[in-house]
A and B are shown apart, each in its own frame.
Chain A
Amino acid sequence: DAGVTQSPTHLIKTRGQQVTLRCSPISGHKSVSWYQQVLGQGPQFIFQYYEKEERGRGNFPDRFSARQFPNYSSELNVNALLLGDSALYLCASSLRAEASYEQYFGPGTRLTVT
């Protein structure tokens, strides 16, 4: 079975622009979480979605938004990009939202804001 996939792999944007990152979970997984990993730091939790509903939100500004589609894939949108948004964005999927279900991480999307 395919693992978690993310697109694009790399992305370069200019300050002020908007970006959309995509994630496809493992087949059968209904929960998707998004993380931001700045170089040299641990991942920071952005959102968790389960059954198309937001189940968790980290301490990120409203410029960050996400949604989950009926096929459980997900998009992360970031508006008005800042230099500080440059990071590896990780997506993780799990069967359900509870912590007892293991999260499987994708390879990430490397976003560079210039």
Chain B
Amino acid sequence: AQTVTQSQPEMSVQEAETVTLSCTYDTSENNYYLFWYKQPPSRQMILVIRQEAYKQQNATENRFSVNFQKAAKSFSLKISDSQLGDTAMYFCAFMNPRRGWTGNQFYFGTGTSLTVIP
């Protein structure tokens, strides 16, 4: 079975500084997707960044980048130039695409609550 572990329940960072959120996962699959989602307080969850396992290059989206270490099964998120609007719960997620009709499977970690301090 696949599992996703986020070992940092809470983190804080000064505005304009850089912070890294950790995520590890366990799977025997070779083809899969990894995601970071952001859930602001009382607001909808939105996708921050996505990584495909077969791509060696780390994904980047503006101030957000990942460090994907496939052999170590590690997928950390780096937020540069942190802004007050980055304050949110961040979830790491794993998706195992299946062929045919056996179904896709999504797994989320327990989340890291990030607070950006002015």
Contact = CB atoms under 8 A, between A and B. Distances in A.
Interface residues of A, number: 30
Nearest to B32: A99
Interface centre among A4, A53, A97 (most CB of B within 10 A): A97
Contacts of B50: 99, 102
Contact of B91 (A42, A48, A54, A100): A42
A58 B2 CA distance: 12
Contacts of A107: 43-44
**Which interface class (under 10, 10 to 19, 20 to 34, 35 or more) fits B?**
20 to 34
Contacts of B93: 42
B108 A97 contact: no
B91 A56 contact: no
Given A41-B111, A99-B95, A105 B46 contact: yes
A15 interface: no
Contact of A42 (B46, B52, B97, B108): B108
A9 to B, nearest CB: 12
B63 interface: no
Interface stretch (B12-20, B67-75, B77-85, B99-107): B99-107
Contacts of B103: 48, 54-57
Contacts of B4: 42
Interface of B: 4, 6, 33, 43-47, 50, 52, 91, 93, 95, 97-98, 101, 103-111
13 contacts: A3-B44, A35-B108, A42-B91, A56-B98, A57-B103, A98-B97, A99-B97, A99-B104, A104-B46, A105-B45, A105-B46, A106-B44, A108-B44
A-B residue pairs, 6 tightest by C-beta? A42-B108, A56-B103, A56-B104, A99-B33, A45-B106, A105-B45
Interface of A: 3-4, 33, 35, 40-45, 48, 53-58, 90, 92, 97-100, 102-108
